[in-house]
Structure 1
């Protein structure tokens, strides 16, 4: 296949792909013209949170934990039950008696040496743990959508840069073809321009596929086909959220205090501490006041009579075959393991927070230098373009200068979004990503 044929095929493929994307967007269910508007970063996150089934599942587990708390509270409340008995058998040495009885039994635990209190503490800590898990699920969902938002916005920024290259080499192609017809250019120069043009269009197709993949993910999570706001609006939103983290120590403190995974670990430790204390007291007696009101059949007189009884039940385990000791050792081992896991996770979070904060400062400095490189490359390309117009430069020099300038622009885009991703990771680590501050994109 000749270079010209390859170029025609690439252009045709680009046209078909673009038309297919437009058609797919127009036929996407639930997408109306009113939805095609600037979709802010934080707006996208909260739209996704309203629809995420993972959050609904986490809320259901929180409701289950609330039910466990209510169940444990019942240990301190009166217990009322009904009963009925019927029996026939020996009554003494020579008589047989029929015994029928039915009534109510009311019991109230009055003293258990802290058993019900520690059971309630463990259940409440389990509820706190599940609330932290729910927050972690929310942050995970928001992080997934945020990464897709950045992916699409970065792809669109790269597309603009590569499209400028494609337009430039398209103009050069027309100029070289005109000169070629007049003998002012060579076939090698025309082939070189055509190759660069085809390369630019091939890169555009690849970047467009990345943008489409990110757009589909945002649509599936947020329910709207995204028309994203500008990079400047995103940087404004990130800058506002980053104001809560002015220095590395603040970032570390926020991470240790607000990170939902650490909060979940701390709640687990509290729950296991309460369970261990409950196991330690399992050898102590449980004292209940019991009252019974019933009607019983008296076989001797063939009559039904009312009976009532009030008493105290004391339950003390005497011998369990080492079961109580084993359960106590298990509770202590689980608690120790969870405490060590908490320390390890705190260490990792401190390290990640320090590194992420310093990394985003480094990337901010790198972005400034990348922009300076791009400015220098543009100045060099502009100088080479002027020399080429007066016949003082060669076409390969001009092409090389243009490609170096485009690469510098692409490096600026990638450095900018690398900085935003690092900031995003730090906000996620410190649980500041879903802060309720107003969205600067929609407040303007």
Structure 2
């Protein structure tokens, strides 16, 4: 098993930590708009994607947790005070022989007798005021110190997760973008197919009207036209759905986007070595690095549990002040203390040992999770690399298939004109040609999407990589009008945002 990343391994770019979430207004269909390219739309998604914004806020929360844990290691100062009012009721009665008064003069005896005989009562209203100031400072607290270390590792893990989310947004936006272009090219092929079969139907009707062919051929041409029309309608629906999927990712509407150029360079990925891509993924894939950081988080939890066996040492100082206005009492009371306190857990019912065992199992589980993520990433990188290399050959084969089907259609039409082929053969050849055209368009976009997916699995998909692909876009643009203008009034309308 690959050893986990040490605590000092490098973190993702600080840019990911402080990415802002700007307020923007979504563009509507009523506003004039220029064609957007892939890079522009990707930048919109990085600003406005709700999933990415949530991940950024979650990262800020984890970073704030570091200050929460660190606070326990800093001085703790508290003040408390009290102000009370009390009323005392006292009633006492004396009885018995009383003291010996024989040595006193008669006058003194009368005063003393008056004081010591009968009942005595006294009422008193007392106001009391007190204040206490107390300060403590941890001198040695292994639990709190290791909780701070765990938070640092949690930040590492969250930053890698944020990078993975960002790359996920980029691949999703790129896929949605090229799926629109794919749907558009397929739609164009289906429209051309419908027009071609419609011309064939009109020609068949004209030939039937002059008695050259039977009604059967007209009906077969009509059936082929209806099928082509149904396929074209489905392609139009697919194009609209693809546009709306892009809107969900970016929170904005686009009236037009740039199309892929005809001279797309179809080449094998560089480096042309599958092992090199796997090695790159092990170093850069944020999901692998996040899982690796998760091992360190679990290891910190074990260290925190073990720290429960260690003593805690705290320095303390306090000051107390008290005063009251009771009858016969003047002045106030005050006291102060400075010292060091030590506490040592001797027996906690086995809780500490059980917590160590519990977190040790969780550490082992996280190690297996890391190994599973590593294997999964290796498999995905290898599969993506294989698909890209196969796409290169597939595009070449699909292009040749278009040429071959065009030749077959020309030959079939010639045979139909001389009577050696029937209209069904022509219709089939028409359908085969436009299926080949649609397949070629799909193969081109499969190549682009698979190449970007390979970059994502290798952990190298960023705006620079999209800029390279963006250069493949041509001058042509695709215009599209979505219904429901104004339904999306604002980007990420979550109401009033909280202020930290």
Q: Aligned Cα RMSD in Å?
A: 3.0
- Whether 1:327 aligns to 2:325 is no
- Of 285, 292, 295 in structure 2, the residue corresponding to residue 266 of structure 1 is 292
Alignment of 1:68-79 (within 5 A): 68-79=65-76
Q: Deviations over 1:299-328 (max 9, x none)?
A: 996422443221001111111100111111
- Whether 1:120 aligns to 2:148 is yes
- Of 79, 83, 94 in structure 2, the residue corresponding to residue 82 of structure 1 is 79
Alpha-carbon distance, 1:188 to partner: 1.5
Q: Deviations over 1:161-214 (max 9, x none)?
A: 121211112222222222222222321222222221111111000111111111
Q: Provide the C-alpha distance between the structure 1 equivalents of 2:79 and 2:254, rounded to a whole number of angstroms.
A: 61
Are the aligned partners of 1:86 and 1:99 in contact in 2 as well (CA < 8 Å)?
yes
Considering fraction of residues, name the structure with more helix. Answer: 1
Higher Rg of the two aligned structures: 2
Q: Deviations over 1:200-249 (max 9, x none)?
A: 1110001111111111122233202352322338967x989x65x55322
- Of 360, 373, 379 in structure 1, the residue corresponding to residue 407 of structure 2 is 379
Q: What residue in structure 1 maps to residue 215 of structure 2?
A: 187
Q: Provide the C-alpha distance between the structure 2 equivalents of 1:79 and 1:208, rounded to a whole number of angstroms.
A: 67
Q: What residue in structure 2 maps to residue 105 of structure 1?
A: 134
Q: TM-score, normalised by structure 1?
A: 0.82
Q: Provide the C-alpha distance between the structure 1 equivalents of 2:299 and 2:337, rounded to a whole number of angstroms.
A: 39
Q: What residue in structure 1 maps to residue 204 of structure 2?
A: 176
Unaligned runs of 5+ in 1: 1-27, 89-97
Q: Deviations over 1:227-284 (max 9, x none)?
A: 2322338967x989x65x5532232123223323222222221112122112212211
SS of residue matched to 1:344: helix
Are the aligned partners of 1:286 and 1:314 in contact in 2 as well (CA < 8 Å)?
yes
Are the aligned partners of 1:43 and 1:439 in contact in 2 as well (CA < 8 Å)?
no
Q: Provide the C-alpha distance between the structure 1 equivalents of 2:182 and 2:40, rounded to a whole number of angstroms.
A: 18
Q: Provide the C-alpha distance between the structure 2 equivalents of 1:122 and 1:433, rounded to a whole number of angstroms.
A: 29
SS of residue matched to 1:34: coil
- Whether 1:227 aligns to 2:256 is yes
- Of 248, 264, 281 in structure 1, the residue corresponding to residue 274 of structure 2 is 248
Q: What residue in structure 2 maps to residue 34 of structure 1?
A: 32
SS of residue matched to 1:439: helix
Q: Provide the C-alpha distance between the structure 2 equivalents of 1:358 and 1:274, rounded to a whole number of angstroms.
A: 39
Q: Provide the C-alpha distance between the structure 1 equivalents of 2:243 and 2:132, rounded to a whole number of angstroms.
A: 68
Q: What residue in structure 2 maps to residue 350 of structure 1?
A: 378
- Name the stretch that deviates more: 341-350 or 257-266: 257-266
Alpha-carbon distance, 1:423 to partner: 2.3
Q: Deviations over 1:339-366 (max 9, x none)?
A: 1110111011111111211222112212
Alpha-carbon distance, 1:33 to partner: 5.1
Are the aligned partners of 1:81 and 1:104 in contact in 2 as well (CA < 8 Å)?
yes
- Whether 1:144 aligns to 2:163 is no
- Whether 1:66 aligns to 2:63 is yes
Alpha-carbon distance, 1:391 to partner: 4.5
Q: Provide the C-alpha distance between the structure 2 equivalents of 1:364 and 1:287, rounded to a whole number of angstroms.
A: 68
Alpha-carbon distance, 1:99 to partner: 9.1
Are the aligned partners of 2:299 and 2:363 in contact in 1 as well (CA < 8 Å)?
yes
Q: What residue in structure 2 maps to residue 4 of structure 1?
A: none
Q: Deviations over 1:58-88 (max 9, x none)?
A: 2222222122100111122111111347899
Paired residues, number: 404
- Which has the bigger relative contact order, CA under 8 A and spacing at least 6? 2
Q: 1:409 to 1:286 in 2, by over 3 A?
A: same
